[in-house]
Amino acid sequence: MKGLNIAAAALLCGAAICLSDGAAAQERIVKITGFGAKSGVVRVFGVNSEAAMKAAAEVINASGGVTLGDGTKAKLAIEFLDDRCNAEEGISVVRRIAATDAFIAVGPTCSNVAESLFGILQKKVNDPSDSGLQFPIIADVAAKGGLAKISEWAFRNVPSEFEMYKSLFAWLRKTHPNLKSIWGGVEKDFAHSNATFNVMIQQAESNQFQVLGKSEWLLADTTFSTQVREMKRANPEIVVISAHPFTTCGVLREMERQGVKPKLLIGLTSSSSIETLQGCAKQAEGIIIPTSFAPVNAEAQKAATNVAKHGGSADLHSAAAYEIMFILKDVIEKQKIMARPDTVAADRVKMRVGLAGLKTTFGLLGTVGRTEDREAIKPYLYVHAKKGTWQVLHTP
Amino acid sequence: MDFYLGLIQIIGVHTLLGLSAYCVLQTGQVSLAQAGFFAIGAYVAGMLTVLGHWPLIPALIVAAVLGGATACAVGFPALRVKGLMLVVATTAFGEAVRLFFFNFNYQLERGELKIGPHGGEGFRQIRYFPENGWSTLEVAIFIWVIVVIVMAALWWMDRTRAGAVLRAVGQDEFASQSSGINITAVKVTAMTVGGVIAGIGGGLFAHYTTHIEHVQFGVALASFAIAYPILGGLSNVFGTLIAVIFIQGFLIEGLRFMGDWRNLLFGGLIVLAMNVRPRGLIDENTSALFKRALWPRKDRAGA
């Protein structure tokens, strides 16, 4: 009898193991790999992107995951690799991801890394003379204008800063007709800040503002007295700062110390983040920045809460990473991506075709348009710093 | 496989950078100017292939010549000072080169596009390899053929009178001068050879990263350049190679899975390596050990 009981228990165990194996086989995991700067001065961008991707994956998984081409359901898993904002490391990271079963990568943080990465991709699809890597990448943060043009395998979900500042300076002209003179400040050695500064100045001049001059500093600078002294001497009515939160705060503090009080402050899109408020909320009071993200509706508020749960903060960059996860879910389902080791090459092509074919995508502030050259046309608004928070100033 | 081939490319180019500093270190001088010569090579080779449509090999030759000529020109005034003063002088030169490229704008219209170096925004689309259908394997082989040639040349030089003179100057400048060696000529020659190698390395770097900008050629790169031969050991050229594999292959790529802890370990492991192997990973004793293992008969004959 005892032997019979043991045999029955063994049978039950075996059946349970078989059943659990079957259940595991039904639930597949699709890994999406993100990459960006998780160390160095711009570390916070990578941390926020990773948190946003995980938050979005959690929401997608909670609603059942993604449906793959063979009809099975899969959960999304996120892996995030650090490229230290270094082009060589970025190339290595992408080659590493492309060596796996991945059919897409999300990143990078820095525009200089994107420049190199997109350069190693095949420029034109189906060009047999071009031996570039055939692997789709969608950027969430790298914001320098026109980067996706480098390769047909490159996509971006970043706002058009050209459109944002064009609209902002036209609006400033209308709402502040008495203000005329502008002084510019730029973080000269950072590609994004530098490129956007040129856009800002061009738009300011197009709207009949008089640019008195500019001060330059570097991303790693910690003292700004000379630059602010130049600014003080010019006595401008508007100060435009094209720099990331770390040096923006340094300059604003120095402006306070030297008693420079312009009537209006304009900042770089990337500074419309929590880091600016944490670093210099008092000095940044009133600064106006165009942004493609603010928690102004239920969806955006939910996203901000979810991202915070994962240890990040939602800003225009991480919100883009959040949105990308939903875009990927959509493309995976529409293109019937199989996500199997034997379909990797086909899945990459399908993913590229799917992304290139998108006319509109999900956006936290509303529908996002897509351009022919694989860029996004994102809704935006102007925010200003008010009592330690970002508040909506105007919705164009 | 592409990932490993890409890593092999990176190791090859960094080996050239390290070997450029190795030449100067042989004479007992510490130069932080190698990143400057590397930048010159990168921009020159990039401009020749992208703007001038030159084939890569002639472009690399010009990059090498210009890297060497600049090093020679810098060597004369810079090598009049020694020790820390030389470090300061060469750092200043490296920064001057970086800032030159930071402000260097030379773009040509090509259809709707403007191509060429664009100041702080860098120089994009140096796509010689993919545009000419080179596979990752072919690029890796090309880089390593150059690395092997350079290493073989330095290995051979180490065993000639020129190598002995370099080491003599490095070990005791006054004694060398007393025995009739023109130490200025020796140091400038070492600097020039280093400049040639850095120029080639820079040219290759520009073509595998496809985009270059001034920030890539700062003090951090110059520090890596001297760290490779110092960490690897100056007894022979293989020390530099081993150090590059250790740093690029193990510390940077191998530890990537450690996420945020990688940077902390990076510094710690270098300090540990320098403590355990103060004369470099491949010091004179290790070299002798290898030599005995590889050529036992010759060794016995010598004994």
Cβ within 8 Å, pair B120-A191 = yes
Q: What is the mean pLDDT of residues B147-160?
A: 94
Helix ranges (DSSP H) in B121-211: 128-131, 136-158, 161-171, 173-178, 183-209
Measured between alpha carbons, how far is A63 from A10 in angstroms, rounded to an integer? 37
Please enumerate residues of B whose Cβ is less than 8 A from a Cβ of A: 1-3, 6-7, 10, 102, 119-122, 124-127, 129-135, 208-211, 213-216, 252-253, 256, 259-260, 262-263
Q: Are the C-beta atoms of A210 and A267 separated by less than 8 Å?
A: no
What are the backbone angles phi and psi of residue A348, rounded to the nearest 5°? Answer: -65, -40
pTM of structure: 0.85
Q: What is the mean pLDDT of residues A181-189?
A: 92
Q: What does the pLDDT read at residue A2? A: 52
Q: Are the C-beta atoms of B143 and B137 separated by less than 8 Å?
A: no
H/E stretch holding A217 reads strand A210-217
For residue B98, count other CB atoms closer than 10 A to its CB.
22
- Smallest CA–CA distance, residue B251 to chain A, in Å, is 12
Chain A residue at shortest CA distance from B127: A119
Q: Label residues B260-272 b or e (16+ Cβ within 10 Å = b).
A: eebbeebeeebee
Chain B residue at shortest CA distance from A132: B130
Confidence of residue A23 (pLDDT cuts 50, 70, 90): very low
Encoded tokens for A267: 């900042």
Select from A116, A122, A188 the Cβ nearest to the Cβ of B120.
Answer: A188
Q: What is the mean pLDDT of residues A302-318?
A: 91
Through-space distance between the first and last CA atoms of chain B, rounded to whole angstroms: 46
The yes-or-no verdict on residue B241 having pLDDT over 60 is yes
How is the beta sheet containing A105-106 ordered, strand by strand?
A: A66-67, A73-82, A28-36, A105-106, A137-139, A154-156
The yes-or-no verdict on residue B259 having pLDDT over 80 is no
- Average pLDDT of the residues of chain B: 89
What is residue B258's DSSP assignment?
Answer: G
SS3 content of chain A, % helix, strand, coil (to 5): 45, 20, 35
Encoded tokens for A168: 């902002």
Q: What is the mean pLDDT of residues B143-158?
A: 95
Q: What is the mean pLDDT of residues B245-270?
A: 82
Cβ within 8 Å, pair A82-B120 = no
Q: What does the pLDDT read at residue A274? A: 85
Residue with tokens 């796996």: A100
Q: What does the pLDDT read at residue A7? A: 53
- Smallest CA–CA distance, residue A224 to chain B, in Å, is 19
Q: How many CB pairs under 8 A join A and B?
A: 97
Residues 6+ apart with CB under 8 A from A186: A193, A194, A197, A214, A215, A216, A217, A241, A242, A243
Measured between alpha carbons, how far is A248 from A332 in angstroms, rounded to an integer? 40
Confidence of residue B257 (pLDDT cuts 50, 70, 90): confident
H/E stretch holding A36 reads strand A28-36
Q: What does the pLDDT read at residue A327? A: 96
Measured between alpha carbons, how far is B103 from B206 in angstroms, rounded to an integer? 18
Q: What does the pLDDT read at residue A214? A: 94
Q: What is the mean pLDDT of residues A353-362?
A: 94
Q: Could you report the per-residue pLDDT of B66-84, keeping only the tens digit for each?
A: 999 999 999 888 777 878 8
Q: What does the pLDDT read at residue B284? A: 78
Measured between alpha carbons, how far is B73 from A334 in angstroms, rounded to an integer? 62
Q: Could you report the per-residue pLDDT of B133-150, keeping only the tens digit for each?
A: 999 999 999 999 999 999
| Sign of the torsion angle spanned by Cα atoms A6, A9, A15, A16 | negative
Q: What is the mean pLDDT of residues A103-114?
A: 92
Q: What does the pLDDT read at residue B285? A: 82
Select from B10, B102, B263 the Cβ nearest to the Cβ of A88.
Answer: B10
Cβ within 8 Å, pair A119-B133 = no
Encoded tokens for B203: 């040219």
Residue with tokens 């909320």: A281
Confidence of residue A21 (pLDDT cuts 50, 70, 90): very low
Q: Are the C-beta atoms of A219 and A189 separated by less than 8 Å?
A: yes
Q: Which residues of A touch B127 (CB under 8 A)?
A: 119, 123, 132
- Average pLDDT of the residues of chain A: 89
Measured between alpha carbons, how far is B80 from B183 in angstroms, rounded to an integer? 10
Longest dimension (CA), chain B: 72
Annotated domain spans of chain B = 2-217
Q: Is A148 on the interface with B (CB under 8 A)?
A: no
Confidence of residue B300 (pLDDT cuts 50, 70, 90): low
Select from A38, A91, A115 the Cβ nearest to the Cβ of B260.
Answer: A38
Q: Are the C-beta atoms of B190 and B26 separated by less than 8 Å?
A: yes
Say how far residue B160 (Cα) sits from the centre of its chain: 22
The yes-or-no verdict on residue A24 having pLDDT over 50 is no
Interhelix angle B219-232/B261-276, nearest 10 degrees: 40
Encoded tokens for A96: 């590493």
Q: What does the pLDDT read at residue A18? A: 46
- Smallest CA–CA distance, residue B126 to chain A, in Å, is 8
Q: Which residues of B touch A195 (CB under 8 A)?
A: 121
Cβ within 8 Å, pair B122-A112 = yes
Select from B119, B122, B208 the Cβ nearest to the Cβ of A115.
Answer: B122
- Smallest CA–CA distance, residue B246 to chain A, in Å, is 15
Measured between alpha carbons, how far is B157 from B153 in angstroms, rounded to an integer? 6
What are the backbone angles phi and psi of residue B116, rounded to the nearest 5°? Answer: 125, 175
CB proximity under 8 Å: A 166-195 to B: 188-189, 191, 194-195
Q: What does the pLDDT read at residue B299? A: 52
Q: Could you report the per-residue pLDDT of A270-308, keeping only the tens digit for each?
A: 898 888 998 999 999 999 999 988 888 888 899 999 999
Cβ within 8 Å, pair A189-B215 = yes
Residue with tokens 């969608």: A138
Cβ within 8 Å, pair A96-B131 = no
Q: What does the pLDDT read at residue B19? A: 97
Q: What does the pLDDT read at residue A169? A: 94
Say how far residue A49 (Cα) sits from the centre of its chain: 7
The yes-or-no verdict on residue B213 having pLDDT over 60 is yes
Q: Label residues A242-264 b or e (16+ Cβ within 10 Å = b).
A: bbbbbbbbbbbbbbeeeebebeb
Q: Which residues of B touch A112 (CB under 8 A)?
A: 122, 211, 213, 215-216
For residue B48, count other CB atoms closer than 10 A to its CB.
21
Helix ranges (DSSP H) in chain B: 2-26, 34-50, 56-78, 83-103, 128-131, 136-158, 161-171, 173-178, 183-209, 219-232, 237-244, 261-276, 284-294, 296-302
For residue B168, count other CB atoms closer than 10 A to its CB.
21
Question: What DSSP line would sit under A115-148, residue for residue?
Answer: HHHHHHB-SSTT-TT---B---EEESS--STTGG
Q: What does the pLDDT read at residue A241? A: 95
What are the backbone angles phi and psi of residue B267, rounded to the nearest 5°? Answer: -65, -45
- Smallest CA–CA distance, residue A112 to chain B, in Å, is 8
Q: Helix, strand or coil for residue B114?
A: strand
Classify residue A84 as left (phi > 0), alpha (psi -120 to 50) or beta: left
Residues 6+ apart with CB under 8 A from A11: none
Cβ within 8 Å, pair B127-A189 = no
Measured between alpha carbons, how far is A293 from A350 in angstroms, rounded to an integer? 29
Q: Could you report the per-residue pLDDT of B166-184, keeping only the tens digit for each?
A: 989 988 888 998 989 998 8
Q: Is A91 on the interface with B (CB under 8 A)?
A: yes
Burial of A358 (0-12, 13-18, 19+ CB in 10 A): middle
Chain B residue at shortest CA distance from A113: B211
Cβ within 8 Å, pair B213-A191 = yes
Rounded (10°) CA dihedral A32, A38, A41, A42: 20
Measured between alpha carbons, how far is A158 from A320 in angstroms, rounded to an integer? 6
**Mutation to test the B interface, candidates A33, A79, A112, most B Cβ within 10 Å:** A112
Confidence of residue A20 (pLDDT cuts 50, 70, 90): very low
**Mutation to test the A interface, candidates B139, B143, B215, B248, most A Cβ within 10 Å:** B215
Residues 6+ apart with CB under 8 A from A131: A122, B129, B130, B133, B134, B135
Say how far residue A53 (Cα) sits from the centre of its chain: 10
Considering only CA atoms, which of A140, A178, A171, A180 is closest in space to residue A157? Answer: A140
Measured between alpha carbons, how far is A347 from A339 in angstroms, rounded to an integer? 7
- Smallest CA–CA distance, residue B27 to chain A, in Å, is 31
User: Please, what are the domains in chain A?
Assistant: 29-158+296-378 (3.40.50.2300), 161-291 (3.40.50.2300)
| Sign of the torsion angle spanned by Cα atoms A242, A138, A157, B113 | positive
H/E stretch holding A227 reads helix A225-234
Cβ within 8 Å, pair A96-B256 = yes
Q: Side chain identity at A173, as an amino acid letter?
A: R
Cβ within 8 Å, pair A99-B124 = no
Q: What does the pLDDT read at residue B93? A: 94
> Highest mean pLDDT range out of A303-312, A381-390, B39-48?
B39-48
Confidence of residue A1 (pLDDT cuts 50, 70, 90): very low
Cβ within 8 Å, pair B252-A122 = no
Residues 6+ apart with CB under 8 A from A218: A187, A188, A189, A247
Q: Are the C-beta atoms of B63 and B200 separated by less than 8 Å?
A: yes
Cβ within 8 Å, pair A132-B130 = yes
- Smallest CA–CA distance, residue A74 to chain B, in Å, is 24
The yes-or-no verdict on residue B244 having pLDDT over 70 is yes
Confidence of residue A19 (pLDDT cuts 50, 70, 90): very low
Q: What percent of chain B has pLDDT over 90?
A: 58
